Amino acid sequence: MTAATKDRLDPVTFEVLRNLFEYTCARMTTVLQKSSFSPVLAEMVDFSNAIYDADLQLLCQAANCPVHLAAMKFSAEAVLERFGPDDINEGDVFVLNDPYQGGTHIPDMTFTIPVFHHGVLLGYAVSRGHWMDLGGGAPGGYAWGNHITTEGLRLPPLKIFRNGEVNEDLLAIILNNTRTPHFVRGDLQAHLGALRAAESELCAAAERYGIDTVTTAMKEIQAYTERVVRKSIERIPDGEYEAEDYADTDGFSENITVNVKLTIKGSEILVDFAGSDPQCEGAINSPYANTVSAVFYSLQFFLAPEVPQNQGMFNPISIKLPDDCWLNAKWPAPTIGCTTITSSKITSAIWQALAKAIPEQVTGSTFADCNGIFVAVRDETGQSNVFADLPAGGWGGTPFNDGMNVTQDPLGNCMNLPAEVAELLFPVAYEAFELRKDSAGSGRHRGGVGAVFKMRFLGNAEVGMETSRTKEGSPGVNGGQRSTVQRLTRIGTDESTEVIGGLTPNGQWINPLIAGFPFKAGETFMFESTGGGGWGNPLDRPPGDVLEDVLDEYISIETAQRDYGVVIDSKSMVLDEDATAKYRDNRR
Mean pLDDT across 330-353 = 96
Q: For the chain, how many structural domains are there in total?
A: 3
- Give domain status of residue 325, yes or no: no
Cα distances (angstroms) measured from residue 69 to each of 47, 124, 260, 320:
9, 14, 22, 20
> Any residues with CB less than 8 A from the CB of 267 and at least 6 apart, and which?
230, 231, 233, 234, 316
- Give domain status of residue 527, yes or no: yes
> Read out DSSP for 321-334?
--SSSTTS--TT--
> Do 517 and 416 fall into the same domain?
yes
Question: Does the pLDDT at position 380 exceed 90?
Answer: no
- Give domain status of residue 165, yes or no: yes
> Do 523 and 555 fall into the same domain?
no
pLDDT tens-digit series, residues 462-506: 999 999 999 999 999 999 999 999 999 999 999 999 999 999 999
Mean pLDDT across 210-221 = 96
Predicted confidence at residue 338, as pLDDT, reads 95
- Give domain status of residue 301, yes or no: no
What distance in Å separates the CA atoms of residue 563 and residue 554, rounded to the nearest whole number?
13
> Do 477 and 582 fall into the same domain?
no
Element (H, E) at 173: helix 168-175
Predicted confidence at residue 433, as pLDDT, reads 96
Judge residue 446's burial from the number of C-beta atoms within 10 Å of its C-beta, 0-12 exposed, 13-18 middle, 19 or more buried: buried
> Do 527 and 382 fall into the same domain?
yes
Question: Does the pLDDT at position 69 exceed 90?
Answer: no
Question: Does the pLDDT at position 563 exceed 50?
Answer: yes
Question: Does the pLDDT at position 237 exceed 50?
Answer: yes
> Do 118 and 203 fall into the same domain?
yes
What distance in Å separates the CA atoms of residue 416 and residue 387, rounded to the nearest whole number?
12
What distance in Å separates the CA atoms of residue 263 and residue 41, rounded to the nearest whole number?
38
Residue 207 contacts residue 117 (beta carbons within 8 Å): yes
User: Position 452: which residue type?
Assistant: V
Element (H, E) at 320: strand 317-320
- Give domain status of residue 390, yes or no: yes
Q: Which strands form 373-378's sheet, in the order they lie side by side? A: 384-389, 373-378, 461-465, 514-519
Mean pLDDT for the chain overall: 94
Domain boundary among 207, 227, 247: 227
- Give domain status of residue 105, yes or no: yes
- Give domain status of residue 315, yes or no: no
**How many C-beta atoms surround the C-beta of residue 45 within 10 A?**
22
Report the share of the chain in percent with pLDDT over 90.
90
Strand partners, 121: 116
> Do 374 and 519 fall into the same domain?
yes
> Do 377 and 520 fall into the same domain?
yes
> Do 367 and 492 fall into the same domain?
yes
Helix (H, G, I), strand (E, B) or coil at 469: coil
* Residue 22 half-sphere exposure toward CB, CA atoms < 13 A: 12
Residue 393 contacts residue 369 (beta carbons within 8 Å): yes
> Do 474 and 549 fall into the same domain?
no
The parent domain of residue 575 ranges over 542-587
> Do 530 and 564 fall into the same domain?
no
| Angle, CA 504 vertex, CA 501 and CA 507 arms, to 5° | 125
pLDDT tens-digit series, residues 90-148: 999 999 999 999 999 999 999 999 999 999 999 999 999 999 999 999 999 999 999 99
Question: Does the pLDDT at position 80 exceed 50?
Answer: yes
> Do 386 and 488 fall into the same domain?
yes
pLDDT tens-digit series, residues 9-48: 899 999 999 999 999 999 999 999 999 999 999 999 999 9
Domain boundary among 199, 227, 255: 227
Element (H, E) at 23: helix 11-35
Q: In terms of Cα–Cα distance, which of 575, 570, 537, 541 is closest to 556?
A: 570
Report the share of the chain in percent with pLDDT over 70.
99
> Do 19 and 135 fall into the same domain?
yes
For residue 1, what pLDDT band results from cuts at 50, 70 and 90? Answer: very low
Question: Does the pLDDT at position 383 exceed 90?
Answer: no
Question: Does the pLDDT at position 2 exceed 70?
Answer: no
pLDDT tens-digit series, residues 240-289: 999 999 999 999 999 999 999 999 999 999 999 999 999 999 999 999 99
Mean pLDDT across 435-462 = 97
- Give domain status of residue 470, yes or no: yes
> Read out DSSP for 85-102?
GGG--TT-EEEE--GGGT
For residue 588, what pLDDT band results from cuts at 50, 70 and 90? Answer: confident
